Structure 1
């Protein structure tokens, strides 16, 4: 792989299904190629996720490719995820094109625009290939969804365009790994089967030596190599899909372990805001869907939402609203982030119908604020201070939250929970968020609020958990350690030279 090549070599990590480990494998490859001196970039043509982040230019893209860019030691760029779909209903999504909101489309409308989106995605990949030595492609879901393949722009069709050999990833922990692999191949035509260079079997538990016969059977049956069998490993690399929340359903007993509860609303977004909490030894984090007695929890958190008004109605309908209000009245701590911050106010106004039918929705009334939803979307990387404690986060939201009189007059806030010092590398003097009830109710637009260890330590102290310590390194420093650990784990169990040979 000479640095003088006009087009970067490509490798694609596709899967037998959702949540089989494609993102983690792509992340590992990005760090490994970076370690070997290559200029490497990640790429996912189309990402469907409400878990997004912000580039240094202030544009929006999927968090998974931001993570992979960090692993590759480069700044994230929207060419790495040119099409981002953010589901807003069961049948429609907000389409973010090259980092900017394009429009809301139903599934049928989206498919009618596929030709334009394909051209956009190919152009982004071409630019990445011109500027790098290696591009690591990631697929979406299963690469063998026969009813969708004719319109698919992210799996085998894109791998063919990139001339990228495909690593097919299967998850042995969910069972049926032989059927996953052989069944996937059986759904493909001969040309598509020929794109598959080999397999990685992910999340193996037990003695790998006992699976040798399984590897031999797969290789004999398919005529393709198993590049490696990856043992199960607990890593703290941010996840792409909300399916990971399934594994964080209330498992900690708050009567036995200090625990915070995250309300699992139907349109929850940016759940990676809580990754740092999972790394605090001695702290439990439970995602909970159904209302329950909250008295034993140290804090209740309302996360970001892709549909604030809809989730507010859901809180009222399911009985969460009176539970949360009673919890605060009895001395409990509540934190709202982004959409959760909007929910804590008295009203959410949507005059232009950005989230559906125009109108107003009552908030929880725990903060003396109102929100007006309006375009354009705010997307910033922001430096801030909380009572002189520094932090770094990012903002992605539509609308403005302020007291009723300031909403009416369009005046800027003259105080707030956070002092914002910088947005998108531009110095500013601004405020974000607010608090009430002596700090027991707090709201902020700042995603990544807990990624700065001093901020996390301060918040834990507010809950009376002074003895709990944040991990030694939060944020990018901590994630870099995880990328290194993942790369070494991958190299130990996967034939990386064989993957490089396949690329050649």
Structure 2
């Protein structure tokens, strides 16, 4: 019988406290020590998703963690993905495939089915690896939700995984976060938590030593480390909370050029633009309140989980007029996925994929219309743009067929199968373009080509870009964690057979 991999769980005192980053760091640290490591998050809620080599959909955060672990992403690493389409409803992606659209109430009625599927996915991962790093979701002490928990302490108990609890000192109340979490859970679950990592510390670490002593004395559990805030590298964010409520930005005439991304209410895959944030010589900003766009060298409409709803939002807020005026004045517009659909003439939803069946007027800037329909397209896609090779991924419900003579890119393979297709559309003046390709800017050469199309061809795009830049960041994160977390104490939580291999 194959021995099951050991498990270690990283849970949190709340959302966005740093669980994903800690898991990413541990994946790279233990991979560097020769273990076959894999991440696992039973249930994720995010509109940031990606595609595996098999053509399955999963959360971007677990794809990032798989990259850090140097393993191919697989939907077993994130068997349940919830993609919010409203305040009370989500599309449920199960084992990489869109399964159902559910209200919160309906979803909770499926929890035992989803828990069984998640356990099976974890078991499959454990049969093929040495160590699984589990990530929790939100707070592990939401007392109203714990009976239906499939991702936090209940999953850690199934995996027999010692738990490390992450708390965020930057938002304040770190002592209450830790002690309050323990106070909200029963004694047997308190015993699962073996210690803590305090994240996002600013200032002199020595001044926090009395706080560490207090936590350890009060709880009887170890503080494994205090992670200082970092700015010298960047790890993809899991949730759009990091770009919520951006302030209006007005580029000065003498400042470096700026590119705007419209922060749509149902924005998805905003990490598409991370490579642009790393460029020297231009600035990428998110804009939410309608504002004058003329100073921006380019404006991007990103992906969205609710194209029709966000088109109505553009019209209601005044963004529609701003975007049309910008295009009429010769501005450069790029739409990706849902943003591409918005640039067309119509978005038709005959089957009610996004709500009530109907038709919504697009911006009319590209000669295409979209019909929303199942099944969902999820592919890793090889393409060329004017002979320049790139690789992206497609995640969309619907089809958009441009005139072939105005298509943007040639598609050569999807999920490893050769094809002769095309994608995207280029406006007649060359200033408006759209594509379904997420990950467009992962290729340095493609990024250079797009920048040149906007008049920013002088900006240097070096080889440390996209996946290469991400890999360097994982190494920097691992070094940062090793300097501030007692990895040997964490290793002591693992089975003796695994500890022997790490000596």
Query: TM-score, normalization: structure 2?
Result: 0.96
Q: Matched residue of 1:53: which SS?
A: strand
- 1:423 matched to 2:420: no
2:225 to 225, 228, 237: 228
CA contact (8 A) 2:248 2:288 kept: no
Query: Is residue 2:271 matched to residue 1:272?
Result: yes
Q: Secondary structure at the match of 2:492?
A: helix
- Aligned counterpart, 1:155: 152
Residue 58 to residue 471, structure 1, CA distance change in 2 (3 Å): same
Name the counterpart of 1:113.
Answer: 110
1:341 and 1:444 in contact (8 A); partners too? yes
Q: Does residue 1:44 correspond to 2:53, yes or no? A: no
Whether 1:217 aligns to 2:205 is no
- Aligned residue for 1:385, secondary structure, equals strand
C-alpha distance in 1 between matches for 2:248 and 2:477: 27
Q: 1:152/1:251 Cα in 2 relative to 1: closer, same or farther (>3 Å)?
A: farther
Q: 1:288 to 1:415 in 2, by over 3 A?
A: closer
Which residue of the partner structure matches residue 10 of structure 1? 7
Cα deviations across residues 378-429 of structure 1 (Å, max 9, x unaligned)?
11111111111111110000111125xx7xxxxxx46610011111111211
2:242 corresponds in structure 1 to 244
Aligned residues: 493
TM superposition shift of 1:475: 2.3
Report the alpha carbon displacement of residue 253 of structure 1 after superposing the two structures with TM: 3.2
> Quick one: structure 1 residues 450 and 248, their matched pair in 2 at CA, closer, same or farther if it must change by over 3 Å?
farther
**Corresponding residue SS for 2:241:** helix
- Secondary structure of the 1:233 match is coil
State the 1:472 CA deviation: 3.3
User: What do residues 274-306 of structure 1 show as CA deviations (whole Å, max 9, x unaligned)?
Assistant: 100110112211111110111101111110010
| Closer/same/farther in 2, CA of residues 41 and 465 from structure 1, 3 Å limit | same
Is 1:435 paired with 2:432? no
Structure 1 stretches of 4+ with a deviation exceeding 2 A read 246-257
Q: Which residue of 2 aligns with 1:357?
A: 356
Q: Which runs of 5+ in 2 are unaligned?
A: 496-503
CA shift, 1:438, in A, is: 2.3
CA distance in 2, matches of 1:219, 1:327: 58
User: What is residue 296 of structure 1 aligned with on the other side?
Assistant: 295
Secondary structure of 1:58 counterpart: coil
**Residue equivalent to 1:488:** 479
Corresponding residue for residue 336 of structure 1 = 335
- Summarize the Cα distance change of 1:249–1:429 in structure 2 as closer, same or farther, 3 Å threshold: farther
Shift of 1:470: 2.3
Q: Is the 8 A contact 1:92 1:105 kept in 2?
A: yes
| Farther off after superposition, 487-496 or 421-430 | 421-430
Which string of whole-angstrom CA distances, capped at 9 and with x for unpartnered residues, describes residues 290-343 of structure 1?
101111011111100101001001100111011100001111110000000000
**Contact 1:85 / 1:96 at 8 angstroms: preserved in 2?**
yes
8 Å Cα contact 2:412/2:420 also seen in 1: yes
The superposition leaves residues 131-155 of structure 1 with CA deviations (integer Å, 9 ceiling, x where unpaired) of 1110000011111111111111101
Q: Does the 8 Å contact 2:344/2:362 carry over to 1?
A: yes
Deviation string, structure 1 residues 84-114 (Cα, Å, up to 9, x no partner): 0000111110000000010101100000111
Aligned partner of 1:409 in structure 2 is none
> For residues 254 and 190 of structure 1, do their structure 2 counterparts lie closer, same or farther at Cα, with a shift above 3 Å needed?
farther
SS across alignment from 1:131: coil
Distance 1:503 1:187 in 2: 26
Q: Is the 8 A contact 1:254 1:297 kept in 2?
A: no
- In the alignment, is the contact (CA less than 8 A) between 1:350 and 1:373 conserved in 2? yes
What SS does structure 1 have at the residue aligned with 2:299?
strand
Q: Distance in 1 between matches of 2:216 and 2:461?
A: 45
In structure 1, the gaps of 5 or more residues are 407-412
Q: How does 1:10-159 map to 2 (within 5 A)?
A: 10-159=7-156
Deviations 1:427-471 (A, max 9, x none): 211111011142110100000011111111111112212221224
The answer to whether the Cα contact below 8 Å between 1:371 and 1:399 also exists between their aligned partners in 2 is yes
Which residue of structure 2 aligns with residue 373 of structure 1? 372
* TM-score, normalised via structure 1 length: 0.96
Distance 1:456 1:431 in 2: 19
CA contact (8 A) 1:270 1:304 kept: yes
CA distance in 2, matches of 1:349, 1:285: 32
SS in 2 for 1:313: helix
Give yes or no for contact 2:246–2:288 (8 Å, CA) kept in 1: no
* Superposition deviation, residue 351 in structure 1: 0.6
SS in 2 for 1:292: coil
Distance in 2 separating the partners of 1:98 and 1:56:
14
Separation in 1, partners of 2:303, 2:141? 32
SS in 2 for 1:201: strand
Residue of structure 1 aligned with 2:179, choices 156, 177, 182: 182
For the residues of structure 2 that align with 1:464 and 1:71, how far apart are their CA atoms? 35
The 2-side partners of 1:150 and 1:500 are apart by: 31
Q: 2:36–2:129: 8 Å Cα contact kept in structure 1?
A: yes
